[in-house]
Structure 1
Amino acid sequence: MKTISALKKTAMVFALAVISIATSCKKDDDEMPVISDQNIVEIVVGDNDFSLLEAAVKHADLVATLSGNGPFTVFAPTNEAFAAVGLDTEAKINALPKETLKKILLYHVASASIPASTIPATANTAVKSAADLDLYVTKTDRGVFINGATVTQADIMATNGIIHVINKVLMPPSGNIVEVAQGNPNFSFLVAAVLRASQGPTNVANVLSGDGPFTVFAPTNQAFMDAGFANVAAIQAADPAALTSILTYHVVAGRVFSTDLVDNSSPATVNGANVTITLNGGAKVKGAKNASAATISPADLVTTNGVIHVIDQVLLP
C-alpha cells in the first residue's frame, strides 16, 4: 500500500506531466492594461456583463469595502459564469444568505495589487484571498488561470486596484477532500468505499484528510452502481484491500486543476498504475481496464488539501 512518502514521490512524477496548459487564452502580458478613473465598484456597475456580480456585491454589503482605498485585486466572474452555477438572476442571488455570498465574493478578492505581469510563470502559486483562504494562480505563455478558471481579460486598472475577468465563479473550499465528499449526497457510495477501505491495512480516510495536496477523480453514486455495487451495503461487504487498490487508482499526488491536464498524458496514480487523460471533446480520464473513458464533469471542486474532479465511471486498474 502507498504511504504518504510514496504520495510525495508520485507528486514529483506527476508534476512533469502537467507543465503545459490545455485551456488557452491570449497571453495577458501582451495586452495593454485598461486604465480607468473609476473604482472597482464603479467599473462593475458600468459594465453590463457584470450585472449579476453587481447584484451580488450589493446583497453581500460589500459596496463600501470594494469602493475603499484598497488596493484590491478582484477576479471578476461574468454573468455567464454566474449562470453556469445556477445564479442566473438577481432574485436567485438575493435568495442566498448574505454571509454565504460574502464569503464567496471575498474568495475572489486579494488585498493587494496583482497585475498579470507580476504573477510568476509557474503552476498553482498560492495567493491569500480576503476570505483568508488560498487561491491558486497559474501562468504560462498561454495565459493566466486561477483555480481552473481562465482569465479572459486581465489588468482592468481601477483607482483602488485591478480587475481580472474570469469565466467561472470560484467556490471556496468547505473542508478537506473527505469532508467535501461527506457533504455531497452524490458521493455517499464513494464515502462508504473510503470508510470500508480504511478498515484494511491502509487508513485511506486519514490519508485523504492529510496535508496532501491530492487530486481525486471522484466517481458518482451512479458510477459505483454501474460498476456492480448495487447499494452502500454492497460496498460495505467488499474486501477493504480490493477497495483500497481501486480508490488509490483515482488519486494523483499534487493539486491538478482542469487547466493543468495534458492531452494524451498518462499520469501515475497513488496505486502505482497509470490513467490516460484526453481532452478532445471535453476532459476525460480512462482506466487501464475500462472499455471507455470517464467524463470529467464538473471539474475543479476545491478543497483545503487538493481538488476533486467528478467522473461518471469507476476507474479500473
Structure 2
Amino acid sequence: MYSPLRIVAVFCYLAGNVVADTASDLAGALAQYPSLSTLRQLVNQEPKLINTLFGNNKNFTVLAPSNEAFTQYTADNHRQLADVGAELLSNTLSYHILAGGLPYARFDSLGARGLTVPTLLTGELYNNRSAGVSLAASFGPGASGQVVLIQKNATDGYVQVQASQQQHVNLTGLDKQWSGGYIHMVDKIFDLPKNCTKTMEDTDGLGTLYNALEDSGAYGPIDTMANVTCLGPNDEAFNEAGNPQQRFNTSETNWMIRSHVIREPLYPDQIQNGMVLQTLRNTTINITVNGDHIFFNNARVQNTALTNNGVIYVLDKILARDPVPVQSGDPTSTSPSPSPTNEAAKPSASKHLSLAFILGGMFALL
C-alpha cells in the first residue's frame, strides 16, 4: 500500500506531465505556422499557465494572435504581452480561447447577426454576467465565460471577431486540429472588456450620452449591475431631440438610464422578431427584425459594443413615447408599439426642446 506522501508525489509527477504534454501539444501545433512563432514562444515559456487555462477539457478553439498582432500590441502598450504580469496575461489569453471546438465552416456560413461564443475569460472585473439559457444550451457548462461576437462581413466576405467595445479583429481559418480542439489565427490581440461607461467613452457615436453620465454622476448602477442590455441613443439622436450641450442633472439622467436598460444580456443572434422586453423603469420595448435591421420600438440599431456586464446597442433615436409603465397584474396597461417605418416617417415633435427637458420630462411622461 502506498503512503499518503507517495500518493501526493505520484499525483504531482502526473500533473507535471499533463502540463508538459498540454503545452507541448499546443506548441507543436503552432510550430507548423511561422506566422504564429511569437505565440509558440510564449506557450513554451508558460506551460503551467497553459495547463491551468485548458484544464482537463479537450474541446476548445484557440484564436491565435499572429506575430504582427504581438508587434502591434507592443507598439500600442509600450511593453510586450509576456511582460504584463501573470494575472493580466492569464486573462488576455483566456479571452482568446473559445469554449467549444469550432471549425471555420461554422463561421463562414454565418448570417448578418453572427454568432455569440463564450470564452474562458471569467471573474467579475471582466465578466460581470452569466451565461443565460441560450448560451448554456449551445455550449454547455463552459458557457459561463465572457463572450465574443463572430460575424461575416457582408461587404468583403471576411470573418471578424468582435471583442470588447467595438474592436473588430480579422479571423483567418486554419482549421488546425490538436489535442485541445481547433486553432484559427487573428490579426490583433483582444482588449479586455470594460464597464458600461468606459465602453461608451470608447464607442463611436456615444459621446453625448457618455458626457451626460459623467456630468451627472449617475453611471453607478449600470457599471455595477450584472447582466444588462443598454440602449444608447447616438449623438445624432440627441441633436434631433434638442441641444446636445445642455447639461444633465442626476434625476434626468436616471430617467434616461431606467428607460433604456434591460435586465438581461441580449446578444444579436438571440434577438427574435416580436420579442417584448421590460426596462428598469418597468416600461415595455417591442423588437422588430426587418431583414438585417433590428429595431427597439422606433429606434434602429446602428452597431453594438460589448461590456463586462452585457452589451450596448447604439440607436439612431431616443426611444419613442410608446411604452407606459406596466402595472402589476394588469397585462393590458401597455399600448401597441408604433412600427419603425411609420415612426421614422413622422417629424420629431420634440426637435426644438432642450435636451434636459427631453430626458427629464419626456421620459417621465412615457
Give the TM-score normalised by the residue count of structure 2.
Answer: 0.50
Looking at structure 2, the residues matched to 178 and 300 of structure 1 have their Cα atoms a distance apart, in angstroms, of 11
Match of 1:180 among 199, 205, 214: 199
Distance 1:42 1:181, change over 3 A: same
Higher fraction of helix: 2
The answer on whether the counterparts of 2:287 and 2:295 sit within 8 Å (CA) in structure 1 is yes
- In structure 2, what residue type is equivalent to 1:309? Y
What do the CA deviations read for 1:49-74 (whole angstroms, capped 9, x no partner)? xx5xx267369x44533697626445
Residue 285 (structure 1) aligned with residue 295 (structure 2): yes
* 2:26 partner letter: I
Q: Which residue number corresponds to residue 310 of structure 1?
A: 314
- Asked if 1:57 is matched to 2:39, the reply is yes
Query: Does residue 1:247 correspond to 2:219, yes or no?
Result: no
In the alignment, the residues of structure 1 paired with residue 45 and residue 33 of structure 2 have an alpha-carbon distance, to the nearest angstrom, of: 18
Task: Look at both structures and tell me which one has the larger radius of gyration over its CA atoms.
Answer: 2
Aligned position for 2:93: 105
- Give the structure, 1 or 2, with the largest relative contact order (CA under 8 Å, sep 6 or more): 1
Conserved 8 A contact 1:171-1:302: no
Match of 2:26 among 40, 51, 55: 40
CA 1:106–1:96 in 2, change beyond 3 Å: closer, same or farther? Answer: farther
Give the whole-Å Cα distance in 1 for the aligned partners of 2:75 and 2:216.
40
Matches within 5 A, 1:157-176: 158-159=178-179, 161-163=180-182, 171-174=191-194, 176=195
Equivalent residue, structure 2, for 1:13: none
The letter of the residue matching 2:95 is Y
Contact preservation (8 Å) 2:227, 2:265: yes
Letter in structure 2 aligned against 1:65? E
Say whether the 8 Å CA contact 1:41–1:66 is kept in structure 2: no
Aligned-partner SS, 2:276: coil
Structure 2 counterpart of 1:192: 211
- Structure 1's unaligned 5+ residue stretches are 1-35, 117-122, 199-203
> Which of 112, 137, 148 is the equivalent residue of 1:140?
137
Question: TM-score by structure 1 length?
Answer: 0.56
Aligned residue for 2:230? 216
Q: Relative to structure 1, is the Cα distance of residues 75 and 66 closer, same or farther in structure 2, using a 3 angstrom cutoff?
A: farther
The 8 Å contact of residues 104 and 170 in structure 1, kept in 2 or not, is answered as yes
- Going from structure 1 to structure 2, the CA distance change for 1:278 and 1:76 (only over 3 Å counts) comes to farther
SS of the aligned residue for 1:215 comes to: strand
**CA 1:127–1:105: 2 relative to 1, 3 Å:** closer
CA RMSD of aligned residues (A): 4.9
Who is 2:75 aligned against? 95
Q: CA deviation at 1:78?
A: 7.4
SS of alignment partner, residue 46 of structure 2: helix
Shift of 1:263: 2.7
SS in 1 for 2:274: coil
The aligned counterpart of 1:29 is: none
Unpaired runs of at least 5, structure 2: 1-21, 55-59, 102-115, 152-158, 160-172, 322-366
Q: Secondary structure at the match of 1:313?
A: coil
Match of 2:306 among 289, 301, 304: 301
- Judged with a 3 Å threshold, the aligned counterparts in structure 2 of structure 1 residues 68 and 270 are, in CA distance, closer, same or farther, namely closer
Q: CA deviation at 1:89?
A: 7.0
Q: What is the rounded CA distance, in whole Å, between the counterparts of 1:315 and 1:205 in structure 2?
A: 19
SS at match of 2:206: helix
Shift of 1:216: 0.6
Q: Which moved more, 1:214-223 or 1:89-98?
A: 89-98
